[in-house]
């Protein structure tokens, strides 16, 4: 054994003995929670860490769809007016939060008892869902049935919702659906229909548990009563209008700028376009064209008083007569676009009648 092999073996043995004598590093509970991404108060922070951040990295943030902000703000204003007319009470609707969540996680987090309303968007060919919590249900029932003002709605837990309560909540959901239609109408007209009402989240599965969705939390206050209504829109539902939701906006014009439209119309009227005056058209062989010489005279089948065509980009704009104005050759338009007749359809055989307003030989 050489001296170098002996030194290498002694170094490895020394490293192994040092590692055996070193104390083991043990993680405490806080470090484990930070590594796994678990927080004691999950609602107090929206930032994810560790494995939790890796697992939820596939979620698409709603902030990448700027037009949704305008749609939801418009929805809040419409709901405030419509619910005031529906309940004949002072109703205030506010937007609490808009977030992205997995559909399965949302179903597991719904506080029961609650009413889930599944609706269908016809033009988008997909579904969405409303969740009405227990506080809002009893408040709506109390207001519509003439409950006293200034007293909190009585809650009776441990029993299913009655037919009267379900019907009253269904009427409220139908009012909200009309507001959602009106909120999306400037962007993309859509028809929303109430599909069914459920009280068990397992029966309201409208998407796969791992699919991403947009959760909109709305707060409805009626003096000292009220509750929360949540709208869940899977990303698959918004996919048909994704391009519209990605566009930027100015104020609440939904991407439309009237100033730019008027400026574009003004510039179009002052745009220069080339205009061609066609004296005659003839069919020649390639040999005749290649035999053209400088100074050669071409005979045209059109007289001095004959009509010539005015074209722009191959499109016929009118007909006129050629003349002279000073030292320039000019064309006087005798037949404009609005006076020109459309050509007959090729499927219908019609006899060609001569045009009485054209003077001179035909081309």
Domains, the chain, in order of start with CATH, read 27-51 (no CATH), 62-259 (3.40.1550.10), 272-280+300-341 (2.30.330.10)
**The predicted structure's pLDDT at residue 160:** 79
**The predicted structure's pLDDT at residue 1:** 57
**The predicted structure's pLDDT at residue 331:** 85
**The predicted structure's pLDDT at residue 129:** 92
Residue 286 pLDDT > 60: yes
Residue 357 pLDDT > 50: no
**The predicted structure's pLDDT at residue 199:** 85
Could you give the CA distance from residue 355 to residue 362 in angstroms, rounded to a whole number? 10
Q: Is the peptide bond before 69 cis (omega within 30 degrees of 0)?
A: no
**The predicted structure's pLDDT at residue 356:** 40
Residue 73 pLDDT > 50: yes
Q: What is the mean pLDDT of residues 180-197?
A: 88
**The predicted structure's pLDDT at residue 174:** 92
User: Which of 65-69, 116-120, 146-150, 170-174 shows the lowest mean pLDDT across its residues?
Assistant: 146-150
SS3 at position 253: coil
**The predicted structure's pLDDT at residue 252:** 45
Could you give the CA distance from residue 153 to residue 226 in angstroms, rounded to a whole number? 9
Give the best-scoring range by mean pLDDT among 168-177, 253-262, 294-303. 168-177
To which H or E segment does residue 296 belong?
A: none
């Amino acid at each position: 054994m050489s001296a170098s092999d002996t030194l290498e073996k002694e170094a490895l043995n020394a490293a192994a003995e040092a590692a055996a004598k070193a104390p083991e590093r043990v993680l405490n509970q806080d470090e484990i929670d930070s590594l796994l991404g678990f927080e004691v108060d999950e609602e107090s922070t929206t930032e994810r860490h560790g494995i939790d951040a890796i697992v939820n990295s596939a979620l698409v943030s709603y902030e990448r769809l700027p037009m949704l902000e305008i749609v939801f703000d418009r929805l809040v204003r419409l709901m405030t007016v419509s619910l005031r007319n529906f309940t004949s009470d002072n109703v205030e609707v506010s937007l609490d939060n808009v977030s992205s969540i997995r559909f399965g996680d949302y179903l597991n987090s719904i506080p029961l008892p609650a009413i889930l309303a599944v609706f269908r968007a016809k033009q988008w060919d997909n579904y969405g869902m409303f969740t009405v919590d227990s506080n809002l249900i009893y408040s709506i029932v109390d207001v519509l049935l003439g409950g006293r003002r200034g007293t909190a709605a009585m809650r009776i837990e441990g029993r299913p919702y009655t037919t009267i309560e379900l019907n009253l909540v269904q009427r409220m959901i139908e009012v909200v659906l009309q507001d959602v239609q009106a909120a999306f109408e400037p962007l993309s007209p859509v028809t929303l229909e109430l599909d069914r009402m459920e009280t068990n989240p397992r029966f309201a599965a409208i998407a796969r548990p791992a699919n991403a969705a947009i959760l909109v939390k709305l707060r409805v206050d009626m003096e000292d009563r009220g509750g929360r209504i949540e709208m869940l829109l899977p990303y698959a539902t918004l996919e048909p209008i994704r391009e519209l939701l990605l566009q930027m906006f100015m104020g609440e014009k939904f991407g439309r700028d009237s100033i730019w439209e008027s400026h574009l119309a003004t510039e179009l009227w002052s745009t220069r376009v080339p205009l061609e005056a066609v004296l005659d058209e003839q069919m020649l062989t390639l040999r005749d064209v290649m035999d053209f010489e400088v100074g050669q005279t071409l005979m045209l089948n059109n007289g001095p008083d004959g009509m010539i065509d005015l074209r722009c980009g191959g499109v016929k704009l009118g007909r006129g007569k050629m003349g002279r104005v000073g030292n320039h050759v000019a064309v006087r338009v005798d037949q404009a676009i609005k006076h020109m007749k459309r050509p007959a359809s090729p499927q219908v055989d019609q006899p060609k009648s001569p045009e009485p307003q054209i003077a001179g030989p035909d081309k």
